Amino acid sequence: MTNEQVWQAVLGEIEVSLSRANFITWFKDTFISSFENERVVICVPNAFVKKWLEEKYHKNIINALENVTKQKIKEIIYKIELKKGNGTTFQINNSEQKKEDTDSTEIKTPSRFPNATVINNGMGNGPVNSNNNNSGRFGLNPRYVFDNFIVGKGNELAHAACLAVVNNLGKAYNPLFIYGGVGLGKTHLLQAIGNAVSKKTDKILYTTSEKFTNNYIQAVTSGKAKEFKNLYRNVDLLLVDDVQFMGGKDGTQEEFFHTFNELLQNDKQIVLTSDRAPKSIPAIEKRLVSRFEAGMVADVGKPDIETKIAILENKAKEKNCTLDREMLLYIAEHVQNNIRELEGALIKVIAYHQFKGITPSLKSVKDVLGDYISNIQTKSLTPKDIIEAVAKFYNITYKELISSGRKKELVWPRQISIYLIREELNTSYPTIGNELGGRDHTTAMHAYNKIYTEVKEKGNEKIKQEIESIRQLFGNSY
Ligand code: ADP
Ligand code: MG
């Protein structure tokens, strides 16, 4: 076996145990440069990847190497070296430096920003008001900083990538694409980048894809297309939240594509968020998908219990309230879906105790949260929820999905619905058939088996990702 073959086999083993985003991020452009006497030198493109492989994936790599070569591996050395013929030259400073730079992320006084012309040119592209009641400059919520972002298993990749971007603006990972379910911290991270970078430049633009679309249409209809172009193409950092809403809007995608290219060519940083992976955004142009994927794609997932407790502890402290661990544990265990709900529960607890002027106890916490928790818990998942999520994902209506129509755009979502209902709820095939507009149970069985084969036997990555994204949609709706 050549080194190349060994490494391909090793990557094959590692790939199945990681999310696609993680795999691509950490293993792209890696290779074995020497393999002698049980000693392997693995080349990686930068210090950031080196650190992660050493700290997080070392064991996986050794195991896979030993499996593939059937021999003991004594030592692995990770070396920064670019593959020949690979044009990328970005380099991330050593990790010590990175840490220092990012430890303090509070926002500087506004006096450093004499001319925030970038976002205030009278075209209505000013601060975006999302649901964060943000009031800071650039439309950024000053509360969204790295300092109060708790890092845990579900978000460490995205968090690390964001720090790398702040420290190597336009050079480390461009674009950076962050995706994951509702309420898991995407907007927080995106704006934390903005807030951190606002110390270095005032050419920052934060927008949502909806705002971008509206402004674009407005600009075109009022003969201000040129101003629009100038505005978006003259920034050091472009932050676009929720790009999934760009699907299907052709003119906007065209404009976005050109903006994108122009910024990338000039090494200007772009960071995007979405509720699903680039490939899974419906009705989006292929060339945009490949642009989105060209830098780094990082996912955020649900937090584990320890992360949830740390988040609660931190938020409680911010609000000058201390809760014992058993109370925090109770909240963390019972509020499952996302961090936004977790915050909601905590605010309720704090408000109640302050209002009553009593010290929190486990019993009082349980009392106040009783309704809140049973509200989120008793709303258990139904086949209808799943069908709704699938329809939403593929941009069709519920009615169309369960109709008798046999167009490909309907058949596929229908099959996916069947698969998910069976997987999630273990519903019988006749019942599934009924839920889907009175279909025969054999149809349901056939569809389930078909998708099962793709996902579980063939490991079809694209379908797996689609399904994961849909799971996140209904995972947050009940
Ligand atoms: P998303 O954009 O993914 O829907 P948000 O960024 O709006 O989610 O996060 C929802 C809420 O949860 C925000 O108030 C945010 O500050 C908080 N939050 C999310 N993740 C974290 C975290 N890791 N640490 C602290 N707060 C968090
Ligand atoms: Mg958001």
Q: Note the pLDDT tens digit of each residue in 409-427.
A: 999 999 999 999 988 887 8
pLDDT of residue 4 exceeding 70: yes
- pLDDT higher than 70, residue 117: no
Average pLDDT over residues 324-343: 90
At position 167, the amino acid (one-letter code) is: N
Q: For residue 116, is pLDDT > 50?
A: no
How big is the CA angle at 386 (ends 385 and 392), to the nearest 5 degrees? Answer: 90
Residue 408 has pLDDT above 70, yes or no: yes
Is the pLDDT assigned to residue 434 strictly greater than 80? yes
- Span 216-249, pLDDT tens digits: 888 888 999 899 999 999 999 999 999 988 877 8
Res. 302 pLDDT band, cuts 50 70 90: confident
State the pLDDT at residue 376: 61
Mutate which of 208, 339, 341 to test ligand 1's pocket (most atoms within 8 Å of Cβ)?
A: 339
Nearest-atom number in ligand 1 for the CA of 191 is 6
* Average pLDDT value for residue range 74-82: 91
Closest ligand 1 atom to the C-alpha of 273? 2
When pLDDT is cut at 50, 70 and 90, the band that residue 377 belongs to is low
Q: Which pLDDT score, from 0 to 100, does residue 108 have?
A: 28
Q: Give residue 471's pLDDT.
A: 85
Higher pLDDT, residue 84 or 226: 226
For ligand 1, atom 6: residue with the closest CA: 185
Cα-to-centroid distance, 149 and ligand 1 (Å): 8
Give mean pLDDT, residues 3-16.
Answer: 84
CB of 155 closer than 6 angstroms to any ligand 1 atom = yes
Atom 26 in ligand 1: which residue has the minimum CA distance?
A: 149
Query: How far apart are the CA of 242 and the centre of ligand 2, in A?
Result: 7
- The response to whether residue 130 sits with its C-beta less than 6 Å from ligand 1 reads no
Q: What residue's CA is closest to ligand 1, atom 1?
A: 183
Q: What percent of the chain has pLDDT over 90?
A: 45
Rounded to 5°, angle at Cα 220 from 215 and 223? 120
pLDDT-derived band at 135 (thresholds 50, 70, 90) equals: low
* The pLDDT of residue 107: 28
Which atom of ligand 1 sits closest to the CA of residue 155?
23
pLDDT score recorded for residue 380 = 65
* Coil, helix or strand at residue 241: strand
Return the pLDDT at 379.
56
For residue 41 the two structure tokens come to 């030198």
| The ligand 1 atom nearest the CA atom of 181 | 3
Ligand 1 binding pocket mutation candidate from 129, 151, 188 (most atoms within 8 A of CB)? 188
* Alpha helices, H only, 198-304: 209-221, 225-233, 250-265, 286-293
End-to-end CA distance of the chain: 51
Average pLDDT value for residue range 443-463: 90
Each residue's pLDDT tens digit, 185-226: 999 999 999 999 999 999 999 999 888 988 888 888 899 989
Distance CA 11, CA 55 (A): 17
Q: Which atom of ligand 1 is nearest to the CA of 152?
A: 23
